Amino acid sequence: MSIEKIVEQALQDGYLTPAMEAEVGRICDTASELSIEEYMALDRLMGALLTGEVVAVPRKQFINVMEELVLTEAIARVAEIEATSDRTLDLGDIAAYALNRLPPLYATTEEGANYQRQRAKEELQGLIAQQVGEAIARNLDRPEMVPGRQPLAKSKGTGGEEILSQVSTLLQAYAPNFEPQPEEAAN
């Protein structure tokens, strides 16, 4: 889809979706030079975003609290195993295996996320620990190098910048309202 068509669609709908935003970014990144029409369309989009005529839809309007709980459990258990042995475990594989066997706990507000966390601690902590344990056992049974395995594609970036971007995105998703108060920052 062209920039002009994306802008036209955004103006018609009143929303710029993450997919539309990504496509505009991809076009801008791969084009050696944008045409006058493309610049004009981007200018129209920018103006519409500034006036509120078009609203950018956030990338993530909800979280799956189960991801947070599984990662917390998996990190603790993997760190313990790696500290006492020469094995290196794949945290992503372990979390994905466990998450595929656990119910999702979605929330759209901080209050909802806190409710889901509390509910999970009371009702699901044993099941979470069991699934992470099974995932670790399967990971330990797997040969060290599996030929042909390709990790999910990562966005282009340079080492530290990529990691900082991922950490920043994670923090924004899980702690959107966290900001140190001035007196806390001074201490």
Among residues 84, 63, 69, 65, which one has the least CA distance to residue 132?
A: 69
Among residues 98, 15, 94, 121, which one has the least CA distance to residue 61?
A: 15
Interval 71-92: pLDDT, tens: 999 999 998 888 898 888 888 8
- The dihedrals phi and psi of 16, each to the nearest 5 degrees, come to -110, 110
Interval 97-127: pLDDT, tens: 999 999 999 998 889 999 999 999 999 999 9
Return mean pLDDT, the chain. Answer: 82
Place of tokens 């966390």: 117
**Whole-Å CA distances, 138 to 85, 98, 109, 111, 128:** 16, 11, 35, 35, 15
- Residue 67 has a pLDDT of 93
Residue 144 reports pLDDT greater than 70:
no
HEC-encoded secondary structure of the chain? CCHHHHHHHHHHHCEECHHHHHHHHHHHHHCCCCCHHHHHHHHHHHHHHHHCCCEECCCCCCEEHHHHHHHHHHHHHHHHHHHHCCCCCCHHHHHHHHHCCCCCCEECCHHHHHHHHHHHHHHCHHHHHHHHHHHHHHHHHCCCCCCCCCCCCCCCCCHHHHHHHHHHHHHHHHCCCCCCCHHHHHC
Domain ranges of the chain: 9-56, 63-145+155-174
How confident is the model over 137-142, as a mean pLDDT?
88
- Residue 138 has a pLDDT of 93
Residue 160 reports pLDDT greater than 60:
no
Interval 16-63: pLDDT, tens: 888 888 888 888 888 888 889 999 999 999 999 899 899 888 777 788
